Chains A and B, each alone.
Chain A
Amino acid sequence: MNEILFKQQLSADVYLMRLHAPLIAAERQAGQFIILQTDDDFGERIPLTIADADTVEGSITIIFQVVGKTTKHLSAFNAGDALPALVGPLGRPTHIENFGRAVCVCGGIGVAPMHPIAQALKKAGNYVTIITGARTKDLIILENEMKAIADEYIICTDDGTYGRQGLVTAPLKELCEAVQKPDIVIAIGPPVMMKFCSETTRPYKVFTQVSLNTIMVDGTGMCGGCRVNVGNEVKFVCVDGPEFDGHLVDFDNMISRLNAYKEIERTHYKCFIEKAFNNNVKEVSL
């Protein structure tokens, strides 16, 4: 169970893993996530969206960026290793139907969770436009996979090393101004990017769905750590989400809450890296 079948480094800090999890593979739908631990005694529980699944192989694919102690530790696992804890699929699945024209906006690693959603939208008969943004060319991932799905595929890089130079909001605005406006926009990426995508579409009244990646402990509604304000109501991302109407989400509060443990985590991470410096990362006891 939970064995890593395949591992690939996609860019400097981004990894793809296929994990043996037949039950999750069978049940998962686009938009859902898993929670994993790299140590089931002292490890933390981190949520990661399911990027793909293969019911024949009984596997799910996760794509993650090394940002802290647990993702660093996870990146040191190799094919053949097994994760001590993996649970899912969690969260409500994305509502998929034939909306007509669907625009999928992905920022950075947000391409990973978008992949199954774009796939499902395409399958449901939508005309799918995919906009992928990244800081620089080397950070663009899943280009071929997304190209294969998209009716239109737009790449933006901040530094202009690939595709259009600039932010994803520029082509998004153009699409909203076109004669045939999008019927739905789905934005997944860093909170700031989702916030500005929602602001871009707001004047055009284009329904915009975002997928929130808040801090979670249990992922089953028990702790309330993932709560966000949506339309002045408190919602739990784990059981009410992770997807919400971007025009109703209080992003500033959400972003502030994501920073709650920044300083503590920075210290944790530093300690971990220092320990890892002298040992093989995998052997560091957490």
Chain B
Amino acid sequence: MSYKSADELHHEAQCLLDEYLDRALTLKVKERQKIPGQDMPVQDPEVRAHNMDEVALGYSFEQARVEAFRCLQCAKKNCMEGCPVKIDIPRFVDMIAKGEIEQAIAVVKETTLLPAVCGRVCPQERQCQLHCTLGKSLKDVDSSVAIGRLERFVADWERINNKIVIPSVKPATGKKVAVVGSGPAGLVVAADCRREGHHVTIFEAFHKLGGVLRYGIPEFRLPNEVIDKEIETLAAMGVEIKTNFVVGRTRKLTDLIDKDGFDAVFIGTGAGLPIFMGIEGENLNGVFSANEYLTRINLMKAFDKNAATPIFPSKKVVVLGGGNVAMDAARMAIRLGAETVQVVYRRTENEMPARKEEVQHAKEEGVQFLLLQNAKKILGDERGFVKGIECLKYQLGESDASGRRSAVVIAGSEFTLEVDTVIVAVGNGSNPLISQTTPQLDVNKRGNIVVDETQKTSMDKIFAGGDIVLGAATVILAMGEGRKSAASINAMLLASAKYSNRAD
């Protein structure tokens, strides 16, 4: 597909809007099926490969309305089944179709706190859009209503037009809630508990807020401005924020409750412990975890000449792994001027955990994919720097229980790539800081905190959610767990408030 600029896409949408506007509300199913799905306008790949600006530019108002016309407004609302936070999707899409954007965003915000984030990073093709009746009728999930893009559109509209409404906060209850970690789970808990009138304090280990949204997901996929705005809203609601504070070290988890008077604690410390492959040469200079590579750039701004944090001047880069983090690292390496960037993945593109859109963007930007291949060992020079990587070829074997086909090594298929940088993006374990310093907290073999169905941990008043419970998952699942945790915390605090009132 040839590249179409935002102007071209906007112009096409304008024509379609003129065509359908008069009878938008009375369109037949067949007619709706025929409205072309609206492509997301993006920066020209040639241009964006050299800048950090956001790749996806967002729908124009006209595009959003035309896309919304495609929704069949079916009675079943299957899409909602696929949404972890159960946004009333048909209703907000209908508002967009009617051009009532302010109402549309209000509907979205009934159930989600961070639509500008989710609209960008949710894997909609595996959630709401997977269940979309239109997509099913056209036998192609890519033909589903672009719910994520519409969500992003309304959220951006609200932000750009300064229409953000600070959620109302109930009268102070005198109860205190501590939120450990300011990633997606923590931000949701902070907002939901604050709304109920509790005093909320967020503790963040880094000097900046946002967790993985800040250090992990690059600016070109999720601009810092979007995160900053969400945090501004929390601050305006009266949430207290403490950065440079490592719960477990700066203050023991139990001290928050026993000494500092917190009535509940939510742990949302995420899956921050990079997994390495355990192959020879992994400690050479020029081998990075994707976390380190991305943190140096996203959080520490190593791409900027004013930044004190250095980044390796990579020319030939190999990224190991096939998830979204691998795509982020590969695309970042292109932007930092690498001559070649190759993603090495041991299965085929079908099995790749990364979103199709991210793989597509990576290809357009010049990332090469070495499929059915995997690293065997990393080769170093006499100074201890990477000079190459030895790989093996694979073929697909039997399907496992989940239906994913196994990768079987082809004996004797070794070959060597000349590279100076290897970025390992094969996943994250659970961060050990809280469990190390709180031995009474139950964790499973993988170090994930064990919780019950209300997200409560083995310790009283202490809840947990997000990747520290799930293992490395997605932003929206973390938010879902945050929402559930907040509901449990609010219920617990309400019950204790009633009890103490009676006691008075």
Contact = CB atoms under 8 A, between A and B. Distances in A.
Interface in B287-311: 288-289, 291-292, 295-296, 300-301, 304, 306-310
Contact of B291 (A24, A222, A264, A265): A222
A256 B384 contact: yes
B14 interface: no
A86 B306 CA distance: 21
Given A87-B244, A223-B289, A257 B308 contact: no
A87 B432 contact: no
A220 B272 contact: yes
Given A89-B249, A253-B384, A256-B285, A268 B273 contact: no
Interface residues of B, number: 45
A251 to B, nearest CB: 12
B285 A218 contact: no
A89 B249 CA distance: 6
Interface string B263-293: 0000000001110101000111110110110
A99 to B, nearest CB: 24
B205 A42 contact: no
A222 B215 contact: yes
B250 A234 contact: no
The B interface is mostly helix, strand or loop, or mixed, namely loop
A273 interface: no
Given A87-B244, A218-B206, A222-B295, A264 B250 contact: no
Contacts of A265: 310
B289 A224 contact: yes
A92 B283 CA distance: 22
Contacts of B300: 44-45, 217
Contacts of A24: 250
B248 to A, nearest CB: 9
Interface in B368-394: 383-384
A225 interface: yes
B231 to A, nearest CB: 15
A220 B433 contact: yes
A218 B306 contact: no
A40 B207 CA distance: 7
Contact of A221 (B295, B310, B432): B432
Interface in A84-121: 84-90, 92
A221 B272 contact: yes
A221 B310 CA distance: 19
Given A37-B207, A42-B307, A257-B285, A218 B295 contact: yes
A37 B309 CA distance: 11
Contact of A42 (B245, B251, B292, B306): B306
How big is chain A's contact interface, by range? 35 or more
A259 B243 CA distance: 31
Interface in B392-433: 431-433
A27 B250 contact: yes
Contact of B283 (A23, A90, A239, A257): A257
B275 to A, nearest CB: 9
A264 B205 contact: no
A84 to B, nearest CB: 8
Contact of A256 (B278, B288, B309, B383): B383
Contacts of B296: 217, 223
Contacts of B3: none
Interface string B176-217: 000000000000000000000000000001111000000100
Contacts of B215: 218, 222
A229 interface: yes
A223 B251 contact: no
B288 A85 contact: no
A191 to B, nearest CB: 13
Contacts of A92: 436
Contacts of B243: 85
Interface of A: 23-24, 27, 37, 39-45, 69-70, 84-90, 92, 217-218, 220-225, 227-229, 234, 236, 239, 250, 253, 256-257, 259-261, 264-265, 268, 285-286
| A-B residue pairs, 10 tightest by C-beta | A256-B384, A223-B292, A222-B272, A44-B308, A87-B244, A224-B289, A44-B309, A260-B285, A264-B310, A85-B207
6 contacts: A42-B307, A85-B243, A90-B249, A218-B295, A223-B274, A229-B283
Given A45-B309, A224-B292, A268-B310, 10 more contacts: A23-B250, A40-B207, A45-B207, A69-B308, A70-B308, A90-B246, A217-B300, A220-B246, A222-B215, A234-B278
